[in-house]
């Protein structure tokens, strides 16, 4: 919890931010304006919560004093009932303040780029990749986010070998960042005549969208190849060399885009994906240095790690990182991910709080 000196520093910081917001110069830098406004809102929320906490402590002290010193039975009984309620409120506010004190992820407000790739399981894994794309598309729709498909490679039977798309909106990364990893499905495939349950998988990567100022890519660090776009089975779908493949020589990362008819647009999209992959790589390296204990490493890059199983025969979905099982498979696949994501967020905050307690 905050000490008196920490609270005083918080008050001072709040005043600094309020003053900064009145400086007309800040409106010339939209990024600085946005960052300052966001920090100011966070500081004011913490100040408000702490003041509420202090008021509640005073109320609890008064009620405890009545229990010890008052002779009126009715007043004592009322104080006992109120004290029980306020003790529960105290725990809730303490938890809220601890959450507000946790280090803020600077990428939470970013848009994201999502890559879904079919894994083991042949055609069925491609169909499952398409199911995941529809799930995230519906989740984006429910949150009023915008989806833009940047690159796709279909299987020809309604599935995807790979699909890459951006998601734009408010606080997208803060909600989507726990989705990276291997998603496994257990069901009877449409192509299976014997009715045997089949297990297949698809991998999901969630990358915070990087701006040009976030990641510098020098011209001599990339190799650009152009070729003709192809559809399912490899047949040419364009008569010009509009598809673009960019190789980042220092890391060996390769990005291809062919969905647009314009070579310029495909190159722009490929560079956007490449910058985001490089930012994701830097974030992963930083997280590995900071912590080796956390189960919920956000964007850990370990896409082979099984994070979730979708069991169709039982209508069950299980997140293996936190041991959460829900019998709401249809709802989840229809984009109702909030219960899963809020549970993952709470588990992540708990791990961070435990880390802070160990260090203190």
Mean pLDDT of 239-246: 79
Confidence grade of residue 111 (pLDDT, cut at 50, 70, 90): very high
pLDDT of 342 strictly over 50: yes
Average pLDDT for 282-310? 65
Given a contact cutoff of 8 angstroms between Cβ atoms, the answer to whether 273 and 257 are in contact is yes
Report whether pLDDT(129) > 90.
Answer: yes
CA 176/CA 171 separation, integer angstroms: 9
Which string of DSSP letters, residue by residue, matches 249-264? TTTTEEEEE-SSS-HH
pLDDT over 80 at 198, yes or no: yes
> What's the CA gap between 152 and 105, in Å, rounded?
30
User: What mean pLDDT comes out for the span 326-350?
Assistant: 94
pLDDT value at residue 101: 83
Q: Could you state, in order of their start, the residue ranges of all structural domains in the chain?
A: 4-101, 112-290+299-351
What's residue 302's pLDDT? 46
- As given in the structure block, the two tokens for residue 316 are 């069950």
Residue 6: its pLDDT value, please?
82
User: What does the pLDDT read at residue 78?
Assistant: 95
The tokens of 293 are what? 């204990």
Tell me which residue of 33, 40, 48, 49 sits closest to 13, measured CA to CA.
Answer: 40
At residue 310, the 3 state secondary structure works out as strand
Query: Is residue 214 over pLDDT 50?
Result: yes
Residue 7: band (very low, low, confident or very high) from pLDDT cuts 50, 70, 90: confident
As to burial, measured by CB atoms within 10 angstroms (0-12 exposed, 13-18 middle, 19+ buried), residue 292 is exposed
**Whole-angstrom distance, CA of residue 258 vs CA of residue 244:** 6
Question: Longest Cα pair distance anywhere in the chain, in angstroms?
Answer: 94
Residue bearing the bigger pLDDT, 157 or 66: 66
In the numeric block, which tokens belong to residue 354? 């435990």
Question: What average pLDDT does the structure give for the chain?
Answer: 87
User: Which band of pLDDT confidence, cut at 50, 70 and 90, is reported for residue 132?
Assistant: very high
Instruction: Give me the pLDDT at residue 299, please.
Output: 43
Please give the Cα distance from 32 to 90 (Å, whole number): 36
For tokens 């089975």, the residue is 233
CA distance 62 to 58: 6
pLDDT band at 161 (very low <50, low <70, confident <90, very high): very high
CATH of domain 112-290+299-351: 3.30.70.1660
β-strands 160-168, 306-311 pairing: unpaired
Given this model, what pLDDT does residue 168 score?
95
Quote the Cα angle for 261-277-296, to 5°: 135
| Inter-residue long-range contacts of 57-60, CB under 8 Å, 24+ positions, other chains counted | 57/90, 59/86, 60/86, 60/87, 60/90
Q: For 32-58, what is the mean pLDDT?
A: 91
Confidence of residue 4 (pLDDT cuts 50, 70, 90): confident
Among the residues of the chain, which ranges form H helices? 4-22, 30-69, 73-101, 123-142, 172-176, 263-290, 329-333, 338-359
Give me the pLDDT at residue 213, please: 67
As a whole number of Å, the end-to-end CA separation of the chain is 12
113 — pLDDT class (breaks 50, 70, 90): very high
Q: Using 50, 70 and 90 to split pLDDT, how confident is the model at 300? A: very low
Mean pLDDT of all residues in 205-222 = 86
Q: Work out the percent of the chain whose per-residue pLDDT is above 70.
A: 89
**β-bridge mates for residue 256, sequence order:** 245
Q: How far apart are CA 126 and CA 255, in angstroms?
A: 20
């Amino acid at each position: 919890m905050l000490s008196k000196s920490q609270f005083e520093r918080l008050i001072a910081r709040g005043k600094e931010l309020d003053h900064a917001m009145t400086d007309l110069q800040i409106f010339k830098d939209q990024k600085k304006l946005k960052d300052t406004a966001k920090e100011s809102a966070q500081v004011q929320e913490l100040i408000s919560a702490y003041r509420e906490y202090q008021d509640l402590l005073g109320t609890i002290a008064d009620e405890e004093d009545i229990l010890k010193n008052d002779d009126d039975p009715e007043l004592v009984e009322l104080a006992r009932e109120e004290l029980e309620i306020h003790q529960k409120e105290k725990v809730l506010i303490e938890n809220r303040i601890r959450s507000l004190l946790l280090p803020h992820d600077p990428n939470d407000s970013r848009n994201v780029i999502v890559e879904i790739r079919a894994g083991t399981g042949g055609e069925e894994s491609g169909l499952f990749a398409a199911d995941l794309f529809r799930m995230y598309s519906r989740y984006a729709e429910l949150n009023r986010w915008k989806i833009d498909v940047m690159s796709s490679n279909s299987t020809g039977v309604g599935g995807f070998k790979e699909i890459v798309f951006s998601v734009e909106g408010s606080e997208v990364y803060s909600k989507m960042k726990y989705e990276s990893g291997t998603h496994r499905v257990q069901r009877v495939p449409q192509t299976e005549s014997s009715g045997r349950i089949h297990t297949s998988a698809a991998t999901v990567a969630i990358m915070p969208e990087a701006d040009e100022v976030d990641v510098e890519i020098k011209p001599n660090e990339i190799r650009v190849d152009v070729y003709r776009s192809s559809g399912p089975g490899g047949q040419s779908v364009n008569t010009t060399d509009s598809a673009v493949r960019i190789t980042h020589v220092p890391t060996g990362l390769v990005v291809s885009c062919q969905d647009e008819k314009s070579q310029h647009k495909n190159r722009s999209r490929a560079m956007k994906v490449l910058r985001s992959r490089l930012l994701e790589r830097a974030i992963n390296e930083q997280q590995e240095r900071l912590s080796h204990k956390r189960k919920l490493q956000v964007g850990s890059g370990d896409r082979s790690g099984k994070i979730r199983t979708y069991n169709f025969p039982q209508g069950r979905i299980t997140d293996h990182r936190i041991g959460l099982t829900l019998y709401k498979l249809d709802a989840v696949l229809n984009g109702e991910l909030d219960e899963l994501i809020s549970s993952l967020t709470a588990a992540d905050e708990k791990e961070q709080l435990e880390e802070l307690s160990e260090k203190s």
